[in-house]
């Protein structure tokens, strides 16, 4: 369980990094090459009006890696902001994204300090730029670039976990760029999230008679309390809620996600190792800022907002998001509960993810649920 738990902690900014470090030897995964070729063939977009591109573009003074996929260039475009902060979606998008590509052109990018973007730039040139506002500026600049390159009037902004911090700020600062915002595993208030998550873990551990978990969690209680939220306290506070299905519902581990990049045709061995290296590189530099994140004071949201909320999410608990959504004023707002998901909604319930996007988001981009243009 120790190895699985250390991997789980990679997903969220407030969790401790994987034991791997940037200087460690990169494992040879060439044995997976035949499987990658099959995945690549399955993913290949052959529709003449489709788009399947990967490239580096200069954003915010560095080169950032971009992946664009869709069956029809005329479909609405989604800009997806991944979690982490260094947990890119590109190496696992093959697990869930293909159905979305029939109705949207989907853009994923490796943020600064993450994945292939980490490999494209000298770390010394990036280290001092790792601040939330810089990530926000990157997302805005990329949205502007995509509008021009793909002749889009506006984009749909979609984000997961840590990415919701970046995307919420981007939507608030540049609403003119976006048809709508979709938050998945939304962060509203970090301290509230910490408390809800911890309480769930301790409550569940007591109910199941897990004396090890109770002992570890009681040692840092009350949490977060008035003490500093250190990495050491965060590791304990996150360990048990995720073990009890707070990351992937009904599962103690999420191997499908953390080992999924081994089958990705979009990532070579160096890029796969850069996932862990990016977590190590970014975590300490962003943690203090992240712990101050609080959107509870946002009472008016300038564009349509849709929140996808996992009923079992205790990585970024859904209750604070539902409370915020009930009070906020917006041109359109909708909360969608995913009853069999925790934090990994697109992976856990990909069918409902697509249906929800068609029902609540595509119409906001001027396209009806059946595909007809709307006024």
Residues 161-202 pLDDT 10s: 999 999 999 999 999 999 999 999 999 999 999 999 999 999
Determine what percent of the chain is predicted with pLDDT higher than 70.
91
Contact 111, 141 (CB under 8 A): no
Rounded Cα gap, residues 189 and 266, in angstroms: 34
CA dihedral (340, 343, 345, 348) positive or negative: negative
Is pLDDT at 374 greater than 80 in this prediction?
no
Q: What is the mean pLDDT of the chain?
A: 92
For residue 218, what pLDDT is reported? Answer: 96
Residue 157: predicted pLDDT: 98
DSSP 8-state assignment for residue 54 = E
The secondary element (H helix, E strand) that includes residue 30 is none
Overall size of the chain counted in residues: 375
* Cα-Cα-Cα-Cα dihedral sign, residues 122, 125, 128, 134: negative
Please choose, from the candidates 45, 33, 37, the residue with its C-alpha nearest in 3D space to the C-alpha of residue 101.
45
Distance separating alpha carbons of residues 205 and 213, to the nearest angstrom: 6
Strand intervals (E) in the chain: 51-59, 62-70, 77-81, 105-110, 155-160, 178-184, 305-310, 333-338
Cα 5 from Cα 311, distance rounded (Å): 21
The answer to whether residue 55 scores a pLDDT higher than 50 is: yes
3-class DSSP state for residue 185? coil
Binned at pLDDT 50, 70 and 90, residue 230 comes out as confident
State the Cα–Cα distance between residues 347 and 351, nearest whole angstrom: 9
What integer is the mean pLDDT of 337-355? 98
Lowest mean pLDDT among 27-36, 225-234, 288-297: 225-234
* 21 pLDDT higher than 90: no
Give the pLDDT confidence of 204-221 residue by residue, as tens digits: 999 999 999 999 999 999
CA distance linking residue 194 with residue 188, whole number of Å: 11
194, 44 contact by CB (below 8 A) = no
> Could you tell me if 164 and 192 are in contact, meaning their C-beta atoms sit under 8 angstroms apart?
no
Give the mean pLDDT of 290-297.
96
Please state which of the ranges 118-127, 192-201, 227-236, 278-287 shows the lowest mean pLDDT: 227-236
pLDDT of 108 > 80? The answer is yes
Beta-carbon contacts of residue 217 (< 8 Å; ≥ 6 apart) = 198, 201, 202, 205, 223, 236, 237, 240
List the beta bridge partners of residue 106: 69, 78
Tokens of 360: 């609540």
Look up tokens 């699985």; give the residue: 4
State the Cα–Cα distance between residues 276 and 273, nearest whole angstrom. 6
pLDDT for the residue numbered 231: 80
Average pLDDT over residues 109-121: 98
Q: Which of 68, 69, 73 is nearest to 56 (CA)?
A: 68
> pLDDT value at position 229?
84
Single out the residue of 72, 115, 71 nearest to residue 90, CA to CA: 115
Report d(CA 259, CA 3) in Å as an integer.
12
DSSP state of 310: E
| 2: pLDDT strictly greater than 50 | no
Nearest CA-CA partner of 75 in 102, 104, 33: 104
Would the pLDDT of 13 be above 60? no
pTM over 0.75: yes
CA distance 282 to 175: 28
Task: Tell me the average pLDDT across 79-100.
Answer: 97
pLDDT in tens, 278-287: 999 998 899 9
Rounded distance, CA 201 to CA 49, Å?
Answer: 49
What is the Cα–Cα distance from 159 to 156, expressed in whole angstroms? 10
């Amino acid at each position: 369980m120790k190895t699985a738990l250390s991997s789980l902690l990679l997903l969220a900014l407030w969790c401790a990094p994987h034991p791997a470090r940037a200087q460690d030897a990169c494992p040879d995964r060439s044995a997976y090459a035949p499987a990658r070729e099959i995945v690549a063939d399955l993913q290949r977009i052959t529709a003449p009006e489709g788009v399947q591109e990967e490239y580096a573009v200069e954003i915010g003074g560095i080169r950032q890696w971009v992946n664009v996929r869709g069956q029809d260039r005329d479909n609405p475009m989604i800009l997806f902001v991944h979690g982490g902060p260094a947990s890119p979606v590109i190496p696992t998008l093959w697990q869930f994204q293909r159905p979305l590509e029939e109705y949207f052109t989907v853009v994923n990018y490796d943020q600064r300090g993450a994945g292939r973007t980490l490999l494209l730039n000298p770390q010394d040139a990036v280290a001092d730029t790792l601040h939330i506002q810089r990530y926000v500026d990157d997302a805005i600049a990329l949205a502007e670039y995509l509008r021009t390159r793909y002749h889009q009037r506006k984009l749909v902004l979609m984000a997961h976990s840590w990415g919701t911090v970046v995307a919420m700020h981007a939507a608030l600062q540049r609403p003119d760029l976006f048809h709508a915002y979709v938050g998945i595993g939304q962060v509203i208030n970090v301290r509230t999230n910490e408390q809800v998550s911890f309480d769930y873990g301790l409550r569940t551990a007591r109910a199941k008679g897990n004396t090890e978990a109770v002992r570890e969690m009681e040692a840092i209680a009350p949490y977060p309390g008035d003490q500093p939220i250190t990495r050491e306290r965060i590791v304990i506070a996150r360990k048990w809620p995720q073990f009890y299905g707070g990351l992937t519902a009904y599962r103690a581990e999420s191997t499908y996600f953390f080992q999924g990049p081994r089958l990705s045709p979009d990532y070579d061995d160096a890029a796969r190792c850069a996932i862990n290296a990016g977590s190590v590189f970014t975590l300490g530099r962003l943690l203090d800022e992240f712990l101050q994140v609080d959107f509870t004071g946002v009472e008016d949201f300038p564009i349509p907002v849709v929140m996808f909320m996992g009923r079992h999410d205790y990585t970024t608990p859904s209750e604070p998001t539902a409370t915020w959504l009930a009070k906020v004023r917006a041109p359109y707002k909708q909360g969608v509960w995913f009853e069999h998901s925790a934090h990994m909604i697109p992976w856990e319930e990909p069918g409902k993810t697509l249906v929800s996007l068609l029902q609540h988001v595509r119409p906001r981009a001027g396209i009806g649920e059946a595909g007809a243009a709307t006024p």
